[in-house]
């Protein structure tokens, strides 16, 4: 199924997310499952962030474009101003869709939009992660992932720059494993 991708990893982050993502992703090998991530940034900054990360970690990192095919060892960052979803064709290949739309939880891109699509396409073959950030974006979508059988992880309060998004997800029952940032990469690897 899905061209041998196995599980995929979907991550949502906001305030404090640049540092958190750098630490988390540096703990994953270049053979890791595909990583899809939403971080709330100003327009134009997601490409710069992707280029910076690409030189700092083992995984290949890029700002996602509509039609990208998911592959192992690749991180796709949702572009500023567009929602990112996964789309499956015939259960073989999975593509990224990046399109403008209305804000969700006052955000575009929105982690809820990404997580909802991952829940629909990958069900139990996914790992959802919610990191430091203001607001509630991602909590509802992470709960939907958990309800479809995915494994879910939330960053703990002590290691979060802002314990907003992970707190809402935890209170909603969306988080199976609440962990400090420095233990999340190992947990992801144990789940894959």
151, β-bridge pairs = 127
Residue 148, H or E segment: none
Q: How far is CA 175 from the centre of its chain?
A: 14
Strands (E) located in 16-68: 35-39, 60-63
Q: How buried is residue 118: exposed, middle or buried, by Cβ count under 10 Å (0-12/13-18/19+)? A: buried
Catalogue the active-site residues.
14, 40, 137
Those residues whose C-beta lies under 8 Å from the C-beta of residue 73, and which sit 6 or more positions away, are 30, 31, 32, 34, 59, 60
């Amino acid at each position: 199924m899905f061209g041998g991708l196995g599980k995929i990893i979907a991550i949502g982050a906001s305030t404090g997310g640049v540092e958190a993502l750098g630490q988390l992703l540096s703990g994953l090998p270049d053979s890791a499952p595909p990583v899809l991530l939403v971080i709330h940034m100003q327009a134009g900054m997601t490409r710069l962030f992707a280029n910076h990360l690409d030189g700092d970690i083992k995984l290949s990192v890029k700002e996602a474009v509509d039609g990208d095919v998911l592959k192992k060892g690749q991180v796709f960052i949702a572009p500023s101003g567009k929602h990112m979803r996964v789309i499956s064709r015939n259960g073989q290949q999975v593509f990224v869709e990046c399109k403008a739309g209305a804000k969700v939880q006052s955000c575009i891109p929105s982690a809820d939009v990404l997580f909802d699509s991952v829940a629909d396409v990958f069900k139990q073959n996914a790992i959802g992660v919610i990191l430091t950030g203001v607001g509630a974006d991602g909590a509802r979508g992470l709960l939907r992932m958990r309800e479809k059988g995915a494994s879910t992880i939330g960053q703990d309060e002590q290691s979060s720059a802002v314990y907003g998004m992970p707190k809402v997800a935890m209170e909603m029952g969306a988080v199976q494993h609440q962990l400090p940032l420095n233990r999340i990469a190992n947990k992801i690897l144990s789940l894959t």
